[in-house]
Structure 1
């Protein structure tokens, strides 16, 4: 499947309505959609969508993914957050992620039961945000899976990914270098949270090299699984081999068998 076909396959899916929606702030985008959060279900998956942090892309394109994970017995909290062009960007976007995770964990908890394991899954720009969350001391997140993440922000800025999306996220003006350093996951190791990267080798939107750089910078806490010949969207598209690899990782079984997934823990840049 070509990169264009992958994009069409995911973005062409009809949105799936959640079981319920929980707000975590006054802004319309400060909400979390819940799928399959029922007693006895497995660990809570908090899902962060991508779109290069821009308001043009919202959580609805990952709602079929959320619903399919819930169908496989994994309760999902699909988080929205403020984005560039609609009240977001630095620092608002960064503030929303921990607030969304906390609200999701509370909403997904079983009454009177122990806290659920919280697995944070982020795609693309959402993968960048998930990696930043992994570096935050005291996070309730127990594992992070970053799918095709913008894992090296400085390199993404150098490459001008998506017409300068990093500059749009961080904003113009004095202090840009400091804002870039503060928001760059490659400069901030995970704070006791294991990180798994899942990245297609044929990704034209976020090159796999960015994940390789992150894995090389933080080898002790990171496992990199590469998907040969896979682009940017397949791992979030139900029914694909790459989605099967994501599901296997969420279940703790490693990538799906069949030769479509390569495992390269700590692979250097």
Structure 2
């Protein structure tokens, strides 16, 4: 069995160049990379959201090109999303969430030109990106008072969360220990009009989201351990959602996103299964 990947292994991940670089805002981090498979389409779509503990310090969109390249090679179009993290101007709450919403909904404008089949679509996120992927699939449940609310969000009926950190309330202590992120950095601060900051930022508060969710964790994932996924799954199932949990043998938090890792046999399979 290959050794589990380290943070430095993760930071060295890369892949081929995308077919298109699409800007959705004025900030440097407001763009999407589109990877296209061969053939005329229509192509199923993977919406990819990178992790990195919601900070600019631990990589970003480039590391996800490993997965994007591998998925395009087997017939999926990949919408690789960059967004403003908590330590970028305009990031955090609500900007980070507004970026994800804008990037996802932008697919509608580009679907016809690139033969993208939006009826076969899955949101895939790693770590912090798992949180944002699950949040994106829950946007139809957002309260209308939220600064993150939009009318008629693009439906995301399938989610694959890789070492996701999606329960901002109940896992706040673990998130602070593993990522050194605090609730105000990720969800904002309470106000008179918004006393509970988790209600529009934490997917666990938006259950049931009515998406089929697959939670995948490495056996040796210390950032987002398997037990975290199992706790989320229990809560989601109790609310009526369909959730599956997988463990990657011998894997760390970083094997989850490497197409060169033995874990890709499981991760790639589950992503493509979501597009059937």
1:247 maps to which of 250, 265, 268: 268
1:119 and 2:122 correspond: yes
1:143 and 2:158 correspond: yes
1:209-259 CA deviation, whole Å, 9 max, x = no partner? 2211110011132111122332101121112221121111122189xxxxx
Q: In 2 relative to 1, CA 114–199 (structure 1 residues): closer, same or farther, beyond 3 Å?
A: closer
Q: In 2 relative to 1, CA 36–143 (structure 1 residues): closer, same or farther, beyond 3 Å?
A: same
Match of 1:233 in 2: 254
Q: 1:59 deviation in Å?
A: 0.7
Q: Single out whichever of 6-15 and 65-74 deviates more from structure 2.
A: 6-15
Matches of 1:152 and 1:35 in 2, distance apart? 30
1:132-211 correspondence runs (5 A): 132-137=135-140, 138-159=153-174, 160=176, 161-172=178-189, 178-211=196-229
**Matched-pair contact (CA < 8 Å) for 1:41–1:75:** no
1:1-269 correspondence runs (5 A): 1-3=2-4, 5-36=5-36, 39-40=40-41, 42-56=43-57, 57-87=59-89, 88-109=91-112, 115-137=118-140, 138-159=153-174, 160=176, 161-172=178-189, 178-219=196-237, 220-252=241-273
Secondary structure in 2 matching 1:122:
strand
Matches of 1:224 and 1:6 in 2, distance apart? 23
Q: TM-score, normalised by structure 1?
A: 0.83
Q: In 2 relative to 1, CA 133–111 (structure 1 residues): closer, same or farther, beyond 3 Å?
A: closer
Secondary structure in 2 matching 1:241:
coil
Q: Single out whichever of 12-21 and 204-213 deviates more from structure 2.
A: 12-21
User: Which stretches in structure 1 are left out of the alignment for 5+ residues?
Assistant: 255-269
Secondary structure in 2 matching 1:150:
coil
Q: TM-score, normalised by structure 2?
A: 0.82
Matches of 1:253 and 1:101 in 2, distance apart? 17
Q: In 2 relative to 1, CA 202–166 (structure 1 residues): closer, same or farther, beyond 3 Å?
A: farther
Q: 1:181 deviation in Å?
A: 4.0
Secondary structure in 2 matching 1:252:
helix
User: Which stretches in structure 2 are left out of the alignment for 5+ residues?
Assistant: 141-152
Secondary structure in 2 matching 1:96:
helix
